[in-house]
A and B are shown apart, each in its own frame.
Chain A
Amino acid sequence: MSGLALARGRAPGGEANLRWIDWIWHVRGAVTLEPGMSAAEALDRLEPLFRERGTRYERGGDALSFRKKDQPAQDRMAVFDSGTLRVEGGALRYDLASRMLLACFLAPLLFLAFAQATVVVGAWHQPAAEAPAAKPKALPMNPIDKALGAPEPEAPGKNGAEGIGRGKKPSHTPGYVFAGMFAVLYLVGRVLEARMVRALFVRKLAA
């Protein structure tokens, strides 16, 4: 097997090899057609779904293939960028690809990298020497606030009081939180979008 073939994931039997991982961004499924429904009739019913801005499609025989670019959010199949629908053996079989599913799958890696970058930059940007702790200054309080019963202001650093924003070092925690969020979002999206597109096809075929 050549290195080029490996790099492209298309070794002898490469398509099959890619199938081990392409479920990450491919949604495949089948919907059984009503008895007696022809392929042409089934595709006629589904065709309006592809008359959307940014969508190009073509029909040939018992199949319909499509490709989307810059599809608006209002497109009900906006999450998919390309795909094929084929009628065979009394069922509609579809194979749809989504770059957004792949991006969401990879997003946790990006945010983990951001978290690590924050750690590295934080370590590199350590102050040369710890400055002696300044004595917390008493903060003023306007008489109106005193009369209305607002708590006395507390200088940052006193009794564990936090400063607000300024001068605080960026934390790596958000990177980890967003990595976790995108991992969960991927799982939700992979299940939800597969169910939703199947329900859409079922509804259109029944109409």
Chain B
Amino acid sequence: MRVGKRIIGAQAPVTIGWENIPRVEGGPVKRAFFTWFQPTVLLGLLAFWYYAPNSIAKASTAIGIGIGFKVLLLGLEWVNPRFASWRLTWKELVTDLFYVGLGYTILRLVDSFIGSDALIKALMAQMHWEKLAWFTGLPLLVQAFLISFLFDFGQYWMHRGMHNWYPLWLTHSVHHYITQLNINKGAVGNPVELFLIGLGVGGFFDFLPRAALMAGAFGLAIGTYQHINVRFNSPRWWRFLFNTTEHHSLHHSQDYEATRSNYAGSYIFIDRMFGTCVDGEAELLGMEEGRRMSIREQMSFPFTEGWRTMKERLGGRTASAVPAE
């Protein structure tokens, strides 16, 4: 299928165009639920954080809501899966939770020393800079959107860089060895990549705590749908603005050209702005025709593969420098 100047789907089956993507089938209640669930949750969460008393509007509440929401989505995966072949198994659940666990423990510990917030804090202290305090005077919703958009904009370019520059690709490639999408699959990846993708410039800004919680709600109620095995009838305006499972499944497809699209985490309009958005979906995911990489290999692959490539290149140069006898 030709999309702009690109041929997509030459290597593996993909579906291009919203009109070709299956809709949720069933009675009117089921169809209404899976049409309005996403916007309702987003508006509900924003309203909650906007009006919650200060005694409730805190990070621990956000963590509780995040966990509860993911458990609910796991239930929806069970009730209305997008593809039977993406069913969550015990092994997949354990693997995914292992990476989630790394994110909550050792990676958070490392981040507290060398994460972007820690580095920006040190830099600002060194340079005697003040945080950009004008940010806090903006309306809450504007602050929240800007925090979320700035992070996603940075993530878009980091992610695009990972698909276009080999050293970065080495770290990101292991995430593309997943062969199905489920709630926690976003956490699967080499720790170096997880560190890189978490870098942001938010540390330069001062903002109201409530705005940060609302920015988290944007991420939770939009970004979470990148990796999920649920079929939704997302409204037209939603899929124009926001990243969906359809977009991200295409990004993970076994077709190389299709993977070079849909880089944003939450706001697919960033891809539309820079010409990298493709509307469609794929069921067959992964690399090397669906080889599932073990956790052990995911941990070492960027280093072993990088070393192998370096040896090949250096070996090749040496060989070409010596004339054949």
Contacts and interface: CB of A to CB of B under 8 A. Distances in A.
Interface in A151-201: 151-154, 156, 159, 161-170, 174-175, 177-178, 181-182, 185, 188-189, 192-193
Given A163-B209, A164-B212, A169-B112, A149 B91 contact: no
B90 A117 contact: no
Interface stretch (A3-11, A68-76, A126-134): A68-76
The listed residue with most A CB atoms (<10 A of its CB), out of B92, B106, B291, is B106
Nearest to A160: B55
A74 B85 contact: yes
B139 interface: yes
B292 A162 contact: no
Contact of A121 (B91, B109, B140, B286): B109
B94 interface: yes
Nearest to B57: A151
A70 B293 contact: yes
A154 B57 CA distance: 10
A53 B109 contact: no
B264 to A, nearest CB: 22
A149 B52 CA distance: 11
A140 B117 CA distance: 23
Interface residues on B, range: 35 or more
B119 interface: no
Interface string B130-157: 0000001111100000000000000000
Nearest to A175: B105
B291 A164 contact: no
A63 to B, nearest CB: 25
Given A79-B89, A121-B109, A153 B208 contact: yes
Interface stretch (A21-29, A85-93, A99-107): A99-107
A13 B269 CA distance: 66
Contacts of A205: none
A72 B140 contact: no
A117 B106 contact: yes
Given A79-B90, A151-B54, A189-B94, A73 B179 contact: yes
Interface of A: 53-54, 70-74, 78-79, 100, 103-104, 107, 111, 114-115, 117-118, 121, 139-140, 142, 144-145, 148-154, 156, 159, 161-170, 174-175, 177-178, 181-182, 185, 188-189, 192-193
